[in-house]
Structures are given as C-alpha cells and as structure tokens.
Amino acid sequence: MRMKRWNVVLAALALSASACASASREPEVPAGPDAVAQAEVAEAVAGGSDDVVSGAIVVDFKDGTTKAEFDAWEQAWGVDLEFNSLEGPRTGVTLAVGVGDVEDVLQRIRQNPAVESAEPLMHVRSSFTPNDPQYESQWNLRMIDMPKAWDGNRGKGVVVAVIDTGIAYEDHEDFKQVPDLKGVSFVKGYDFVNDDEHANDDHGHGTHVAGTIAQATNNGEGVAGVAFDATLMPLKVLNHFGSGTSADIADAIRFAADHDAKVINMSLGGGLYSQVMASAVEYARKKGVTVVAAAGNTGRGRVEFPAAYPGAVAVSAVGPSGSLAPYSSYGKELDIAAPGGDKSRGDSGGILQNTIDPRDPSRSVYAWYQGTSMAAPHVAAVAAMLYGAGAKNPDEVEQALYAGAKATGDQAWSEQYGHGVLNANASLKAFTGGGPRWPSLGWAAALLAVVLLTLRGRERPGFLNILFRPAFFVPLVLSTVGFFFLRTWFTGASGAAGDVVNVASLPIPDWQRIIFGRATVSPLFYSALIPLVLSLPAITWRGFRPAVGGLALGFAGFLAYAAWVGAPALAWMPFTFLAKPWLGFNTVVCLVIARAMLKREDA
C-alpha cells in the first residue's frame, strides 16, 4: 500500500513529462448533465494539464466489490489497480499509475457494471485565502498570483533586511509596534541614524514596506503580506524626513550581509553615483545576498541608484491595470516590474499596508501608498520565498524571478518592465534548484551532428573519438552548462577560491554576470567573439583545434537555445528586436568555426 502511495507521488512530480494520453483522437463527449465537465477533463488529459496527474486514474467500484474481483478484470483493462487507502475495501476507491492511453483505458473500465465511476486522478490545491479582513482590497497580491504561491512556500526562516526609515516592530519608549506586525519574526537590527540598537520607525515608510514583505497574515487583523513566514531585520538609515547618507546605507548593507540576511530591500534612491555604496552592494552579492532596490519615481528613462548599481535587482512599478505607473523610473538597468500602485483614480489603486501615523509614531494606521518603493518589497519577498524553496545564491533567485515574470508583448525584456511583471507562483514553479541548462548541451549535440553531416566522409573525425576526448568535451560542457557541480562540492568557499567557484560553475557566456553583475547581458559574451579569438592560434597550433571546436560548438548550442526560448536583454543594442538576429548570426559563426576546427586535413 505504501508503495502505491509513493508511485502516485512520483507520478505527480512527473507533470512536466510528456502526456501519456493520446492527443491524436478527439475525446468523446459523454451524455448527461456533466457532459461539458467531463469533456473538459478529457481535454485536460490530452493536453497534459497541471490539474491532472499524468498517467494516473482513480476507479470507484460499487460497495462490496472485492480485490479478487477487480484483479480478474485488470488484464483485460491493461492496468494494475490497488486500493487507495485502508478505507478502500469499504469505499471501493482504487488507484492505478503508469497508465499509457488514459482515455482508452477509462472507456474499457467504465463498461463494467461494477464500476460507479472512473476518471483521471486530479490535483486539488488549497488556494490559501487569508482571513485578514482587508485582504480583498489587496489587488497587488492577486496580480502576482500569491494565493497559489502560498500553497507551496511562505519564506519561513529567511532573513530579509529592510534598509529604510526603520520598522514599528517593538514597544520602546514612545514607539509602539503596529498591531499587524504582532507575531512576525524579527532579528536584531540597528539604527544608523541615531547609532543605537532600536531601529524604530518615525516616518511610516519603512513599516509600510516591511508589511508588504511579511505583514502578519491569516491573523484576522488588517491585511496580508507576501512572505509572511520570513524574518525581518530592521535597519534604519533614513530619518523622520525620509533622508539619509550614502555612508549609513553602505554600512547597513554590509551589516545585513554580515548578519545572515539572505535578501536586502532598499526602497530608497536618488543622488549621484557612490563608489562606497556600489562596493557595499558588490560585497553583499558576493556573500550570497539578493539585493533588491526601487528604480525611482522620476517618471524618466533613468534608473536611480542604488537600483542601478551592478548586482542590484532594479524594480519598476505598475498600477492595477498592469501598465507602467506614470511616476515610475525605467531604463537599461531595469530588471523586473512589480505592483507599486497608481492612485490617479483614487486611493484604492495604491498599496495598502499597516504603518504608523508620521505625526504620531505611537498611532497605527492603514494607509494606501504608491511608488517603486512599494514595488520593490514584492520582489524582495518572493526572493525570500525562493530561498525558502532551496535557492542557494542570487543567480538562482534572479533566474527564477525573471523566468516566472509575465513578459509584455513579445519582448523578452524592455526598459519599462525588465523581464516582465513579477509572478510569485510562476517563479516558484520555474525554480529548479539551480540545475544546469541541459537544453543548451542538447542543442550543442544536435549542432555537432549538423557539422559532421556537412563534412565529406573522409573529412569527418571519428565521432566517438571526438565526444570522449577531454580536450573537446570539457570546453563543450564548460560553455553550455558550466561546472555546475562545483557549488555543491565547495559550498563554503570564499575569497578568491569562492570567486573561482562562482565563475566556473556558470556557462562561459554567463561569466558576464560576475563581471558586469546585471540581468542585461553583454553581447560580447553572447557572441562568437571568444571562440573566434581562440581560433586564431589554432590555425597553426593543430593540437589546440579540438578544444576550440568543442568551445565553438558549446557556444553555438548556448546561443541557439537562448534565441529559441526568447532572447535575453542585450546591453548596448539600439533596438530590442535585434537580440534574436544577433544570437542567430553568432550561432552560425560558431558553427563555421567548429567545422573548421574539427575538419580532418589529412583526408
């Protein structure tokens, strides 16, 4: 019985596998009042829907049907049925997994008079809805698909540092904790404005931001938060006027990184470039911290600092319609968009959270705010959920954030929305544990076949000799998937050793992440430049040719796959639509290089 349960679980985990049901035959529409519903089920099976457990069926026999009886029918049906649970002998509910043609099997089973019903095994989700009385007013949480995301992860135990005006997190002197933060987990923070350990809010901004990240949820009070099981670290760098210094912010970033924060949220910005702050952001990222920052509220095409620093996730704001808010900054450094509110048609278009009355820090209010300041904490909170799901570093978090974002139009990236509008549920689904990009290696293998087929018989090198020759195979792997296993083997590596592990664990084209630290990638790396440069010495040094051939094929596979799934944002490109042609052209150049390097000249 336990083995049957495990089979069902494994079948559920294999949803991404090809659908077992035959899609070539039109499903029959049953008669009766449930005809439409049953037709929808048949269509879901044929289409491999996530609502159906692939290759699994449930059969409900009439009460009194014994196991010996349905065992005798199994051979004709082509299935292996077992009672679903200890209640099976009484209820008659049985399961079968690993079913090939689900609809065909079900049609045969339904003809048996002992069968009350037979159908595909369905997924049923809780679709968690919090009981916070003002949750219905939080359009922003539904926009990023939080009800489904909450079913899987709520950021438990992940520390998120809120670098802001402080948080109303404690009762201390004249300060009071706001009611909707009671029960939220906090770790020790610091007030860099007043140089003490009580980072209390005397403005209201920081508490509002913190509420979006981890407001106490399902507590019958006020509103909900995104990652409400996360732990907050209050770091006050802005005074009661909402202003601060680059020195305090830089110190706060380093404090957070040194005190086990996994995510930093900075809903602040403006001013000139600061090397001190830029270095602090770089320091935090190298320590494995995801740094999220608001793009700014100028309404102009320029992302403000600190969001514009390499290594920071820059967030623009959208309103309830999903369009860029009129105040939101945007630009070439932008990474992603999230709900920030648009109150042009009333307060309800803003982001609602519990905070303090700026005129009286001891008084709690529920307020509608708008700004990229409100958008950034949505992203920071989902980053915390991704860490809670097992992400190990900022690269893995960002990859999932961008993969799950809802793109605008047919653009993989734009200056207004980055990779698209945040979707928490899709990002959690996209998270794969930071595994390698196996499709790139598959494309490289396919392109190797193309190269060999374009060579005349005597010009072709021995296929197995190439594939298993380290000089060829190692560069091919390094340029498609990287030495991804190094992060597992050298988890604690730091300093220069840590830098080497971080670089080598990425495919060569993605080394630009370490160098430039942004989501928009350098077209110099996403091109044939590196194989082309290395091919020059190989013209005379023949022993170097297999390595260059493997490298060129790896690059070809990587670039072809990148173009196939949706071209990334390429820096310095005058038009976004040029990304795919660029990748396609450079794929062809890489193939030409690979062909030249692998061709036997002694034929």
Catalytically annotated residues: 164, 205, 373
- For residue 458, give every residue at least 6 positions away whose Cβ sits within 8 Å of its Cβ, in sequence order, or none: 600, 603
Using DSSP's 3-state secondary structure scheme, residue 418 falls into strand
d(C-alpha 282, C-alpha 266), whole Å: 15
Please report, for residues 155, 271, 277, 288, the alpha-carbon distance to residue 308 in angstroms, rounded to integers and kept in the order given.
26, 11, 11, 19
- Helix and strand element counts for the chain (H, E): 22, 14
Task: Give φ, ψ of 515 to 5 degrees.
Answer: -75, -50
Report H helices in 229-319. 246-258, 275-286
d(C-alpha 554, C-alpha 594), whole Å: 9
Which H/E stretch holds residue 452? helix 438-454
Q: Could you tell me if 101 and 79 are in contact, meaning their C-beta atoms sit under 8 angstroms apart? A: no
d(C-alpha 126, C-alpha 106), whole Å: 27
d(C-alpha 518, C-alpha 417), whole Å: 15
Q: Could you tell me if 233 and 187 are in contact, meaning their C-beta atoms sit under 8 angstroms apart? A: yes
Residue 227 DSSP class:
S
Of 312, 293, 303, the C-alpha closest to 331 is 303
Please report, for residues 226, 260, 597, the alpha-carbon distance to residue 450 in angstroms, rounded to integers and kept in the order given.
48, 49, 14
d(C-alpha 77, C-alpha 74), whole Å: 5
d(C-alpha 414, C-alpha 416), whole Å: 5
CA dihedral (454, 459, 464, 468) in degrees, to 10, reads -100
Task: Give φ, ψ of 153 to 5 degrees.
Answer: -165, 140
d(C-alpha 260, C-alpha 246), whole Å: 22
**What interhelical angle do 67-77 and 102-110 show, nearest 10?**
130
Neighbouring C-beta atoms of residue 565, cutoff 10 Å = 13
Residue type, 92: G
Q: Could you tell me if 371 and 377 are in contact, meaning their C-beta atoms sit under 8 angstroms apart? A: no
Q: Could you tell me if 339 and 348 are in contact, meaning their C-beta atoms sit under 8 angstroms apart? A: no
Please report, for residues 84, 474, 479, 529, the alpha-carbon distance to residue 536 in angstroms, rounded to integers and kept in the order given.
66, 20, 19, 11
Neighbouring C-beta atoms of residue 453, cutoff 10 Å = 8
d(C-alpha 169, C-alpha 565), whole Å: 44
The dihedral sign for the CA sequence 50, 388, 415, 503: negative
Of 98, 84, 81, 82, the C-alpha closest to 10 is 98
Neighbouring C-beta atoms of residue 586, cutoff 10 Å = 22
